[in-house]
C-alpha cells in the first residue's frame, strides 16, 4: 500500500465549546450485549473474550489499565459487516494474570491462543495504545496470523512516550477511572495497586524495537493518533509510519489518546474506511 498522509480538518469551530474535545474523557460505553462471551484458559491463564456480528474477523485490543468495554462504539460500528472479537488483556478487566511478568510478546501470544480457540487462521487487528503495540508485535512475530492493522496511539520504543503523562489531567482521570472499573470487573478486585506496579515495570523497558524489526512488517498498517495525544510524541508517530513499509499515517483532529471516545463518529469512519477499502 502506498504511504499516505491524511490530514483531516474539523469544520465546526471550537470557540462555542466549554471544553476542547481533547481535554475531555467521555464515559466508558456500557457493556455491549455480545452473542458469545466466556472466560477460558488461554496460554495458561483465564482470559475473557466475547464475539458478535458476522463477516471478516477483526480483533479489538484495548489500552493498558483499561478493558474491552472501552470499544463499545466501535463494536456497534463494526458488527454489521464484521465478526468482532474483543478480549480483556491478561490482568485487565475480567481476565486473570499469572506469575509471569507482563510483556508484549506474552500478550501477543494470548491473542494467537484466542485465534486458535476460535479456529481463525488470521484476523484484522484494531489496537489502542498497548493494544496497538500488541498488534504490531503480532505483525512482527506472527505475520501469518494478521491481516490489516489499525494501530492507534502506539509507541515502538519507550522514548516515544511523553514525560509526565500521568500528571496530565485527562490521563490522570483515566487512571482513576480504570481503578474503579478494575475493582468492579476483576477476579482479583483488590489487586489494582499491585497490577499497576507490575505493568509499570513493563512500560519502563518495553517496547524497544529496532528499525530492522519495524521494517520486517509486511501487513497493511495504518498508524493513527489524535493531534493532542497526551502520551505519545507526534514525532514518534510519524517515525513509525515512515519506518514500517507501506504504512499510512492518520492524525485525527481535536482529539487525544482517547479519540475513540471523544469523536467516535470520525474515529469509526476512519476505521471502517481502512478495514473495508479494497
pLDDT (tens digit per residue) in 37-77:
999 999 999 999 999 999 999 999 999 999 999 999 999 99
Give pLDDT, residue 164.
94
Q: Answer whether residue 15 shows pLDDT above 60.
A: no
In this prediction the pTM is: 0.94
Mean of the pLDDT values across residues 196-218?
A: 97
Mean of the pLDDT values across residues 111-135?
A: 98
Using 50, 70 and 90 to split pLDDT, how confident is the model at 8? very low
Q: Please write the tens of the pLDDT for every residue from 20-42.
A: 999 999 999 999 999 999 999 99
Q: Answer whether residue 234 shows pLDDT above 60.
A: yes
Q: Answer whether residue 97 shows pLDDT above 70.
A: yes
Q: Answer whether residue 11 shows pLDDT above 70.
A: no
Rounded to whole angstroms, the Cα distance separating 50 from 148 reads 20
The percentage of the chain sitting over the pLDDT mark of 90, rounded to a whole number, equals: 92
Q: Is residue 18 part of a domain?
A: no
Using 50, 70 and 90 to split pLDDT, how confident is the model at 209? very high
Q: Is residue 80 part of a domain?
A: yes
Residue position matching grid coordinates 504504512: 247
Q: How far is CA 240 from the centre of its chain?
A: 16
Cell matching residue 53: 456480528
Q: Is residue 20 part of a domain?
A: no
If you write DSSP's letter for every residue of the chain in order, what string do you get?
A: ----EEE----S-STT-SS-GGG--PPPPPPP--SEEEEEEETTEEEEEEEEE-SSEEEEE--TT--GGGGHHHHHHHTTTSEEEEEPPTTSTT----SSPP-HHHHHHHHHHHHHHHT-S-EEEEEETHHHHHHHHHHHH-GGGEEEEEEES--SBGGGBPTTGGGSHHHHHHHHHHHHHHHHH-SSTT-HHHHHHHHHHHHHH--B--HHHHHT--SEEEEEEETT-SSB-HHHHHHHHHHSTT-EEEEETT--TTHHHH-HHHHHHHHHHHHH--
- Please state, rounded to an integer, the average pLDDT across all residues of the chain: 94
CATH of the domain at 262: 3.40.50.1820
Q: Is residue 13 part of a domain?
A: no
Domain range spanning residue 195? 34-276
Give pLDDT, residue 246.
98
Q: Answer whether residue 115 shows pLDDT above 80.
A: yes
Q: Is residue 1 part of a domain?
A: no
Give pLDDT, residue 18.
64
Give pLDDT, residue 31.
94
Evaluate whether 275 touches 32 at the Cβ level (below 8 Å).
no
Q: Is residue 146 part of a domain?
A: yes
Cα atoms in the Cβ-side hemisphere of radius 13 Å centred on 196: 14
Give pLDDT, residue 13.
43
Q: Is residue 49 part of a domain?
A: yes
Give pLDDT, residue 278.
75
How many independent structural domains does the chain possess? 1
Q: Answer whether residue 125 shows pLDDT above 60.
A: yes
Q: Is residue 162 part of a domain?
A: yes
Amino acid at each position: 500500500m502506498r504511504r499516505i498522509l491524511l490530514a483531516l480538518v474539523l469544520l465546526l469551530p471550537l470557540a462555542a465549546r466549554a471544553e476542547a474535545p481533547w481535554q475531555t474523557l467521555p464515559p466508558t460505553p456500557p457493556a455491549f450485549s455480545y452473542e458469545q462471551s466466556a472466560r477460558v484458559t488461554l496460554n495458561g491463564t483465564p482470559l475473557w473474550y466475547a464475539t458478535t456480528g458476522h463477516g471478516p474477523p477483526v480483533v479489538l485490543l484495548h489500552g493498558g489499565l483499561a478493558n474491552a468495554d472501552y470499544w463499545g462504539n466501535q463494536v456497534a460500528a463494526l458488527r454489521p459487516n464484521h465478526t468482532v472479537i474483543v478480549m480483556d488483556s491478561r490482568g485487565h478487566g475480567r481476565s486473570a494474570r499469572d506469575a509471569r511478568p507482563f510483556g508484549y510478546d506474552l500478550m501477543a501470544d494470548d491473542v494467537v491462543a484466542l485465534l486458535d480457540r476460535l479456529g481463525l487462521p488470521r484476523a484484522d487487528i484494531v489496537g489502542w495504545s498497548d493494544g496497538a503495540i500488541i498488534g504490531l508485535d503480532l505483525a512482527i512475530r506472527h505475520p501469518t496470523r494478521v491481516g490489516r492493522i489499525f494501530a492507534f496511539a502506539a509507541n515502538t520504543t519507550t522514548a516515544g512516550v511523553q514525560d509526565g503523562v500521568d500528571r496530565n489531567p485527562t490521563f490522570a482521570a483515566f487512571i482513576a477511572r480504570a481503578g474503579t472499573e478494575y475493582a468492579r470487573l476483576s477476579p482479583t478486585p483488590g489487586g489494582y495497586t499491585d497490577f499497576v506496579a507490575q505493568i509499570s515495570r513493563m512500560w519502563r523497558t518495553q517496547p524497544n524495537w529496532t528499525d530492522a524489526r519495524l521494517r520486517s512488517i509486511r501487513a497493511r498498517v495504518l498508524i493513527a493518533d489524535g493531534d493532542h495525544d497526551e502520551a505519545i510524541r507526534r514525532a514518534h508517530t510519524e517515525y513509525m509510519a515512515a519506518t514500517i513499509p507501506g504504512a499510512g499515517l492518520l492524525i485525527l483532529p481535536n482529539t487525544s489518546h482517547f479519540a475513540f471516545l471523544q469523536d467516535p463518529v470520525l474515529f469509526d469512519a476512519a476505521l471502517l474506511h481502512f478495514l473495508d477499502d479494497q
